[in-house]
Amino acid sequence: MSVLTLRLAGPLQSWGASARFARRTTEAAPTKSGVIGMLAAAAGIERGDDDRLAPLAALKFGVRIDQPGTRVRDFHTAHHGLTGKSMPLSERFYLADAVFVAALEGDRPLLGELHAALRAPVYAPFLGRRSCPPSLPVELGLHEGGLVDVLREVPWQASAWYRRQYRGRNEIELTVLREAGEDEQQAGDVLRDQPLSFAAEHRRHALRTQVSDCVRIPTPSARQLPRHDPFDALDEESA
């Protein structure tokens, strides 16, 4: 099998598996529906085209938490476009400064098409919500092997400032959240994030079981981490 890996990093991310009225929460890691939606948008699959969505939804999904980030809360106000009346105040949650490596396992031809689509997307990718653009290109690469094995080999993607606190260590243990196998259905957590349709008039998601693994990733030595001195910028301006 082949595996497509994505680097999901940005100032803010929000991966909601459920929403209740004016309260919009976020999961601690990207959801399958959110990542599949991003790939579908990059490939130009229109909402409601369930036939083209189905092969993407059938891909095996997993995500590695390289930098967990911080959960933040925001309040949104809005007004009705026609009447000008105030809409209910909404409470929305985000992940700030988080970095994830998402992986999708499946047949190489389909993953190759998605890899190419990410390099020249029809619709721009975003990290769960349109207000959350990625800070760097999303695509990491196309690999051969199993999903967990690939996530064990992809280098640590955390920000340099975050990696500094682990200097001196030879490796770090990272959490991997992946789809449960047939014999693991009773041991995992259940999420309603298996996409069936993104049609605006009848969005539908099925239940999916997720289990947790740990992988050990080599850490870069302190010499590999860039030195940051805020006074360098002052020296450049005065030069």
Residues 144-176: tens digit of each pLDDT? 999 999 999 999 999 999 999 998 889 999 999
Share of the chain above pLDDT 70, in %: 86
Residue 90 in this model has a pLDDT that exceeds 70: yes
Closest by CA to 13, choosing from 58, 55, 66, 90, is 66
Residue 236 in this model has a pLDDT that exceeds 70: no
CA distances in angstroms from 44 to 41, 53, 114, 235, listed in the order given: 5, 11, 10, 47
Residue 8 in this model has a pLDDT that exceeds 50: yes
Higher pLDDT among residues 148 and 76, named by residue: 148
Specify the pLDDT at position 223: 43
CB atoms within 10 A of CB 226: 7
What mean pLDDT do residues 20-37 have?
87
- Model confidence at 119, in pLDDT bands (50, 70, 90)? very high
Specify the pLDDT at position 239: 53
CA distances in angstroms from 31 to 27, 51, 150, 180, 186, listed in the order given: 7, 21, 19, 14, 20
Strand partners, 5: 103, 141
CATH 3.30.70.2660 fits 2-75+90-227, yes or no: yes
Distance from chain centroid for Cα 102: 6
